[in-house]
Amino acid sequence: MSLTTAELAERYGTPLYVYDLDRVTAARDDLLATLPEGFDLYYALKANPHPEVVRAVREGAEEVCRPEVSSLGELDAALAAGHPAGNCLYTGPGKTDTEIDRAIGLGVREFSAESPSDLRHIGNVASRHGVVARCILRLNIASAGAATGIRMMGRPSQFGIDGDTLAETLPQLLSVPGTTVIGAHFFTMSNAGDEESLLGEYEHVIETAAGLGSDLGLPLELLDIGGGFAAPYAVPGNRTPYPKLRAGLADLLDLHLPQWRAGQPRIACESGRYLAAECGSLVSRVVNVKEGSGGPFVVLDGGINVLGGLSGIGRLLPAAVQLDPGLRPAGRGTLVGPLCTPGDSLGRNVQLPALAPGDLVTIPNVGAYGLTASLVHFLSRPAPAEVTLRGGEVVSATRLEPRRTPVGDGR
C-alpha cells in the first residue's frame, strides 16, 4: 500500500525530499520520443546525483542513456547506479590532474575539453596511464540569438574554446599526446521554453559543426549538440512539450550531416532538469507563523539550506506551496526557512493557505537543482532525508551526512 505524504513525513521526518522514480523513467521516455531515433542522451548529474535517480534514467535504456559527470563525486554516483565508467563523459572547465587520474584509473575514456590547456592536462594524465583519451572539444561560438532560456554561448567565459580561434589552434589540438579528438560539444542554452528558438539554436550548432568538419578538418565522430529542455522549478506545472523537435532536428541533420543516420557522426543531446525536475517534491513542516506588518511570515523547518536553487550565485527562484488536502488559499504571505539570515526566503508575496505550526506543505518540481544545489552545510543543520519511490513503494531512504575526515598527516 502506498504511503501518503503525511505518513512519509511521520516515518522519515521533515524536511524531506521524495523522488518518484516512475516520473524519471517517464521523462526519459518522453525525451527520447521527442528526439530523432538514433540519438544518444547524456544525463547531467549536476541536476540530481542521487544514485536511484541516476539508475532510473539508465534502466531499460542502457544503450542510449549515458552519464555526464563533472566531479569525482558524480562519477561515484554514476558507478553506484550501474553505469560502466567507459560510458561516462567527464566535463567541466577545472579538471585537476588528481581527478583526471582517478577517472582514467576507473576506466573513463571520454572527456569534454574546455580549452587547449584542459586538453593538455587530460593528455598528460592519459599518457602516464598508457592510454589515449577520446575528447570532444567544447566550443564557444556566437549564438543564434534565441529569445528565451539562459544563454550559454556567444560571450567570454570559462566554458569552451572560442570559435574564432579554432582555425589557428586546431592543428595543435589534434596533435596533443595522449588524446584523440573525436568531435565537438556545444551547449547553447538552458530551460528553453520556446520550441522555435531551441530549433534555431540547434540549426546554428549543426550547421557550424558541419562547416568546421569540412572547412577545418575537425573530426566528427561524436557531436553533442547540448540540451536546453525546459521544466518548472519549485512551482506547479509540467515539462515543456516539443512536438516539432523530432522531425525538425532530423531535417536539419539530413541537410547538413547526411550520414548521421548511419552513425557518422553519432549525435547526442544532454539534459538534467528535464529528466529529473518533475520527480521530486520537498515536504516541509511549519514551525512558526509570525503575524505583523508585511506578514504573515510562515517559517518552515527547511529553507535555502535544503532548497537553495543556486542561491549563492543569485539564482534563487520563487517557490510555490502545493496545497495539502483540506487546506484552502487564504491570502498572500512570505515563505521563509529557519536560518539566521534574511536571505533565507523561499517565496515573497506568494499565495498561501491558512497555515499553523505543525502543518505540512509540499513544494513541487524540485527533483532537479534541489538538495545538492543548496547551502546544505550552512548553520550545520542536518540534511533532509531523501526517499525514493517506485510504484508508490519505498525503494530507499537515505540522508547525506557531512563529516570531517583527516587529510595529509591529519594535522
CATH of the domain at 71: 3.20.20.10
Exposed/middle/buried for 402, CB within 10 Å: 0-12, 13-18, 19+? exposed
Nearest residue to 286 (alpha-carbon basis) of 346, 356, 230: 356
Co-location of 270 and 374 in the same domain: no
**Would you say residue 13 lies in a domain?**
no
Exposed/middle/buried for 39, CB within 10 Å: 0-12, 13-18, 19+? buried
Exposed/middle/buried for 98, CB within 10 Å: 0-12, 13-18, 19+? exposed
| Cα–Cα distance, 204 to 210 (Å, whole number) | 10
> Which residue among 230, 249, 275 closes a domain?
275
Whether pLDDT at 155 is above 60: no
Average pLDDT over residues 381-404: 94
CATH of the domain at 357: 2.40.37.10
Co-location of 116 and 131 in the same domain: yes
Query: Three-state SS for 282?
Result: strand
Which helix (H) or strand (E) is 395 found in, with range? strand 393-399
So what's the pLDDT on residue 332? 87
Co-location of 260 and 205 in the same domain: yes
So what's the pLDDT on residue 151? 44
Q: Using one digit for the tens of pLDDT, what is the confidence trace for 164-200?
A: 889 999 999 999 999 999 999 998 777 888 899 999 9
Determine the straight-line distance between the first and last CA of the chain, rounded to whole angstroms.
52
So what's the pLDDT on residue 173? 96
Average pLDDT over residues 381-387: 95
Is the bond preceding 15 in cis, omega lying within 30 degrees of 0?
yes
Whether pLDDT at 316 is above 60: no
Query: Three-state SS for 387?
Result: strand
Q: Using one digit for the tens of pLDDT, what is the confidence trace for 208-250?
A: 999 999 999 999 999 999 999 999 988 889 999 999 999 999 9
**Would you say residue 242 lies in a domain?**
yes
pLDDT above 70: percentage of residues in the chain: 90
Output the DSSP codes for 257-290.
-TTGGGTSSEEEEEESHHHHGGGEEEEEEEEEEE
pLDDT tier, 375 (very low <50, low <70, confident <90, very high otherwise):
confident
Whether pLDDT at 269 is above 70: yes
Which helix (H) or strand (E) is 333 found in, with range? strand 329-336
Co-location of 266 and 297 in the same domain: no
Say how far residue 132 (Cα) sits from the centre of its chain.
28
Question: What is the crossing angle of helices 166-173 and 116-129, to 10°?
Answer: 10
Residue numbers of the domain that contains 83: 22-275
CA atoms within 13 A on the CB side of 149: 30
* Whole-structure pTM value: 0.92
Co-location of 88 and 203 in the same domain: yes
| Cα–Cα distance, 350 to 76 (Å, whole number) | 39
| Cα–Cα distance, 159 to 138 (Å, whole number) | 7
Co-location of 198 and 104 in the same domain: yes
Co-location of 45 and 155 in the same domain: yes
| Beta-bridge partners for 180 | 134
Domain count, the chain: 2
> Which residue among 249, 275, 301 closes a domain?
275
Query: Which amino acid belongs to residue 110?
Result: E
Is the bond preceding 265 in cis, omega lying within 30 degrees of 0?
yes
**Would you say residue 213 lies in a domain?**
yes
So what's the pLDDT on residue 250? 98
Whether pLDDT at 115 is above 90: yes
Whether pLDDT at 162 is above 90: no
**Would you say residue 15 lies in a domain?**
no
So what's the pLDDT on residue 52? 98
**φ, ψ (nearest 5 deg) of residue 151:** -70, 135
So what's the pLDDT on residue 326? 60
**Would you say residue 406 lies in a domain?**
no
Q: Using one digit for the tens of pLDDT, what is the confidence trace for 5-55?
A: 999 999 999 999 999 999 999 999 999 999 999 999 999 999 999 999 999
**Would you say residue 3 lies in a domain?**
no
| Separation in Å, CA 60 to CA 57, 64, 81, 409 | 8, 10, 13, 46
Is the bond preceding 296 in cis, omega lying within 30 degrees of 0?
yes
**φ, ψ (nearest 5 deg) of residue 279:** -75, -20
| Cα–Cα distance, 197 to 149 (Å, whole number) | 9
Co-location of 222 and 285 in the same domain: no
Co-location of 128 and 112 in the same domain: yes
Query: Which amino acid belongs to residue 341?
Result: T
Query: Three-state SS for 222?
Result: strand
Co-location of 252 and 288 in the same domain: no
Nearest residue to 204 (alpha-carbon basis) of 187, 222, 229: 187
**Would you say residue 198 lies in a domain?**
yes
So what's the pLDDT on residue 235? 85
User: What per-residue string of b and e applies to 137-146 under the rule 16 or more CB within 10 Å gives b?
Assistant: bbbbbebbeb
Query: Which amino acid belongs to residue 407?
Result: V
**Would you say residue 43 lies in a domain?**
yes
| Residue 225, C-alpha cell as written in the block | 549538440
Co-location of 93 and 232 in the same domain: yes
Query: Of 172-181, 276-285, 304-313, 330-339, which gets the smallest average pLDDT?
Result: 304-313
> Which residue among 242, 259, 275 closes a domain?
275
Co-location of 284 and 298 in the same domain: yes
Which sign does the torsion angle of CA 230, 231, 237, 241 carry?
Answer: positive
